Structure 1
Amino acid sequence: MQKKIDLVNGPVLSSLTRLAVPIMATSLIQMAYNMTDMIWIGRIGSSAVASVGAAGMYMWLSNGLAALAKMGGQVNVGHALGASNSEEAAEYASNALQLTLTLGIIYGLVCILGAKPLIHFFHLNQAQVIRDAIYYLEITCGLVLFSFLNQTYTGLFTAIGNSRPVFLATTTGLVVNIILDPVLIFGIGPFPVLRVTGAAIATVIAQMIVTVMFFIFAMKDTVLFQYVRYLKKPDLHHLKGIVRIGFPTSVQSMLFTGISMIIARLVAGYGDAAVAVQKVGSQIESISWMTADGFAAAVNSFTSQNHGAGKKRRIYQGYVSALKVVFVWGIFCTLLLICCPAPVFRIFITEKDVIPLGVDYLRILGVSQLFMSLEITTAGAFSGYGKTVPPSVISIVFTALRIPLALILVHTTLALNGIWWSITISSILKGVLLFVWFYIFMRGEKIIYNRK
């Protein structure tokens, strides 16, 4: 088993890069994982994409709940390891995994029992779209426990400076998903044609396999998991520490999704094709935000361990190094979406009447990619410090701004494009303001000028 990367000693860029590259690769794999579903489902038609788009909102919502244990566990484990306190780190890891298990079971039951009213919220138009959305929701969110566990294991492995298991487990899941998708969707060989339901089953099976692999990697780990006691009684002190750090991020993520669901309902007013465009467009847009999110995870762990070790100057150096990489990636994604929207969108949906809508979406959202990457990376640095409130405040306030802004812009000549512009404008504001906030924070903490 690969030992953890030493994040508190040695060259800053080298340490950060060695941790970040597997995480970024994992994010790209996760993006491909999601896109695989979308490519195959797109071959069924835009109505099937609309079904997955509506049900997928609740999977997205679940990520906010999962973030409670993941973020709280990752940051606290990083702080403890930075302070060379392995026993404390193991306590936080144990409680994070137990909390994950509890939340995953509760959310799954809610989605199974309330699938119909949850899908009816979007006011979808076609009966078949509604039925497919309900089936997809019941399967993917009903068994969301595996997704929850995978996210927490990802956070904990990243916290100890070992991102290799995350890469290997996620890659395996992608391969399984790629194989199962066409087989279960189109009924290849002895399998029946399951369409959208098949895609849901393929996704859950892949997630289950990833969870098993994480557990095997954890059994072989000698840094953290050998000290973790899965069946030990939860400790209130450590649970409070996890919730204190994870709660703002969890609320931020769930409110972000809730606001996005309201936006999706506005989009649904322009027809199921518009819902499909938003679903596919967001998957394409994930080229930038999932990669930035992966790099932010590395920044989080780098910051948390060095904060625990009291090395302020090293935190600043790591953040600046991260921004340089993210800046280049953000520019690339901006150029890709603005200059090549049509060929990229055709990979997912080939219906001629839908493509122009997709081109508009990608060009408008392309303007904000650099700023969105800046926001995500800075949020990772803030969170590594245990300061999850600032990124949560910025995100909640300016994501909420999308609703009134969209309601205003749709009544102009922009129409549907006004909704896309409300998303882009808010993303630009979030990126700029969070960066300024973190700069002020670093000045106040004397991080910039401290030479230790």
Structure 2
Amino acid sequence: MDRAVDDSITEGGLLGPMFKLAWPIVVIQLLQVTYNIADTFWLGRLSADAVGALSLAFPLIFLLISIAGGFTTAGSILVAQYTGADSEGSAGEVAGQIVSFVTLLALALSVLGYFATEPMLGALPSQAQTTDQIVPLARQYMEVFFLGLPFLFGFFVFTSLMRGYGDTRTPMRVMFVSVALNVVLDPLLIFGYGPFPAMEIEGAALATILSRGVASVLGFYVLFVAKAGPDVEVADLVPDLGYIWDIVRIGVPSTVEQSMSALAMITLTAMVVQFAPPVVSAYGLGNRLASLVFLPAMGLGRATNTMVGQNLGAGKADRAERAVWIAAKAGAAVMFVVAVVAALVPEPIVSVFLATGSEAARATVRHGSTYLRIRSVEFVFMAVLQVMLGAYRGAGNTKTAMAFSMVALWVGRVPTVYYLAFVAGIGATGIWVGMALGSILGAIAATLWFTRGTWKETVIDEDEAVADGEETAERPETPETPGAPAAESPDLSEASGPSEGK
């Protein structure tokens, strides 16, 4: 197999391939956030309560998404390590197993989520005004969203497999078309126009589901028809207990990590809804803005996942370690600049998303501006934390990544928010400060542990990888090379996909 392009990840300089992997991931994340921003922008013109409803809905949606999300992480890890070991056959086989496993799980979660929406919302101890004004809107949004949950995971699986393979540009192209479709559908379905009925908040959910359906179809076309990613065949969809065990073994810690993150978000939301609606809306809006400014950190973290996975698969642990430190320094530098901007001019940024002119909207902007300014303190630490978590995941140490995520959330964030907001009596400001402290604590702990060097082992069966690699070498060469530039993938500039954030 021709390794000329793929060797840019496992050979030569590190900064170039790191950048080539990271920038499409940042664009993908930006496009994913655009789903949320589009909803927030148009619903903000509907009412501040509609924006608050998204604040309640997202953590509950994320709880069910996280159950299957950890297994897409396992797919990325296994594909990266088999690809680095030059084991094309195993990379394709594990890709097929991930597709079938996660699809079945997504169907089950779709049914569960739809029927569990009302009980989940009812369990939140919200203020009376919030219960009357915001909770019913959140229920409407969630019920529509859960019906389309399988479409969400179709693109998640596609993106994770292609990222592990070293191709981040093709998912970016698919994502672009889907986001463009969502941006067009949002105002049509929320407010109604021509043949489109005014569905209000349900329209926002439906626009996202339809857009993600397009992304999933395009993603599976790339994998199974265009053959631009891992060499996956339809026959690889048949369950194989050996691969399923690897997926479960590696994926369960990531699933637990994401589920505990979702529970932390729900716990935080349960605290926030005890405040007035403007605080609830500011919390949701601030989180969405934070997810936007964290894009460089998220991109470098996921690029680090691939760099570490492929280099460890190739037996180059020292190169993997150098890649991590380069990513951490680059991420910290970029996020420092972003933090300065957010700290200096938060109000113009926040006010873009609320234009109803009501007193509730003005109060939301005031709270949201304070929130963004305080959270800017954590931006540099967030970059370092994401890179370190990406390194642990790339090595297959998903339990370690889980542990430090828990430190950030359940040691640094949740108890601090509770203490400052309710015990110390600081109120909303206590929420904003507590949210920022979690990443700071998590980054320090994860970095100190990383220096021990105990993460430098692969999780794949090296003998199997070598055998598969020898078989691959005997097969005719194909133009689909892991890590190849987007020009070697089919032109999907007219296609696109979903958002992890919604």
Give the TM-score category using the shorter length: over 0.9
What is the Cα deviation at residue 126 of structure 1? 4.2
Matched, 1:94 2:96: yes
Q: 1:354 to 1:223 in 2, by over 3 A?
A: closer
CA contact 1:5–1:15 (8 Å) conserved in 2: no
What does the per-residue CA deviation read over 1:348-395, in whole Å, with 9 as the maximum and x for residues that have no partner?
Answer: 124212221111111111111111121111100111111111221121
Aligned equivalents of 2:182, 2:6: Cα separation in 1: 30
Which of 8-17 and 368-377 deviates more? 8-17
Aligned equivalents of 1:127, 1:416: Cα separation in 2: 21
Q: 1:212 to 1:33 in 2, by over 3 A?
A: same
**1:288 equivalent in structure 2:** 293
Report the aligned-residue RMSD: 1.9
What is the Cα deviation at residue 221 of structure 1? 4.5
**1:277 equivalent in structure 2:** 282
Aligned equivalents of 2:429, 2:327: Cα separation in 1: 33
**2:198 equivalent in structure 1:** 193
**2:498 equivalent in structure 1:** none
What does the per-residue CA deviation read over 1:101-150, in whole Å, with 9 as the maximum and x for residues that have no partner?
Answer: 01111111011112211122224434352222112111112211111121
Aligned equivalents of 2:295, 2:416: Cα separation in 1: 25
**2:434 equivalent in structure 1:** 422
What pairs up with 1:232-311 in 2 under 5 angstroms? 232-311=237-316
Matched, 1:68 2:70: yes
Q: 1:246 to 1:222 in 2, by over 3 A?
A: same
What is the Cα deviation at residue 332 of structure 1? 2.1
Give the letter aligned to residue 279 of structure 2.
A
CA contact 2:346–2:372 (8 Å) conserved in 1: yes
What is the Cα deviation at residue 17 of structure 1? 1.4
What is the Cα deviation at residue 9 of structure 1? 2.2
Aligned equivalents of 2:375, 2:115: Cα separation in 1: 36
What is the Cα deviation at residue 320 of structure 1? 2.2
- Gap regions ≥5 residues in structure 2: 356-360, 458-502
What pairs up with 1:382-393 in 2 under 5 angstroms? 382-393=392-403
What is the Cα deviation at residue 68 of structure 1? 2.1
Give the letter aligned to residue 377 of structure 1.
V
CA contact 2:57–2:142 (8 Å) conserved in 1: yes
**1:49 equivalent in structure 2:** 51
Name which of 22, 28, 31 aligns with 1:29: 31
What does the per-residue CA deviation read over 1:50-95, in whole Å, with 9 as the maximum and x for residues that have no partner?
Answer: 1122112222223422322211111111111111111211221111
Name which of 420, 428, 431 aligns with 1:409: 420
Name which of 74, 79, 82 aligns with 1:80: 82
What is the Cα deviation at residue 223 of structure 1? 6.0
Aligned equivalents of 1:95, 1:443: Cα separation in 2: 26
Aligned equivalents of 2:437, 2:371: Cα separation in 1: 13
What does the per-residue CA deviation read over 1:190-239, in whole Å, with 9 as the maximum and x for residues that have no partner?
Answer: 22211101100001011101111111221355464443336642111111
**1:165 equivalent in structure 2:** 170
CA contact 1:68–1:243 (8 Å) conserved in 2: no
Q: 1:413 to 1:343 in 2, by over 3 A?
A: same
Give the letter aligned to residue 363 of structure 1.
R
**1:334 equivalent in structure 2:** 339
CA contact 1:58–1:141 (8 Å) conserved in 2: no
Aligned equivalents of 1:170, 1:4: Cα separation in 2: 24
Tell me the TM-score normalized by structure 2. 0.84
Which of 249-258 and 388-397 deviates more? 388-397
Give the letter aligned to residue 89 of structure 2.
E
CA contact 1:83–1:309 (8 Å) conserved in 2: yes
SS at match of 1:386: coil
**1:183 equivalent in structure 2:** 188
**2:321 equivalent in structure 1:** 316
Which of 391-400 and 207-216 deviates more? 391-400
What pairs up with 1:121-136 in 2 under 5 angstroms? 121-124=123-126, 125-136=130-141
Name which of 368, 377, 381 aligns with 2:387: 377
What is the Cα deviation at residue 397 of structure 1? 3.2
The higher-RCO structure (CA 8 Å, 6+ apart) is: 2
Which of 194-203 and 334-343 deviates more? 334-343
Identity rate, percent: 26
Tell me the TM-score normalized by structure 1. 0.93
- Gap regions ≥5 residues in structure 1: 446-452
Q: Number of matched residues?
A: 443
SS at match of 1:367: helix
CA contact 1:54–1:122 (8 Å) conserved in 2: no
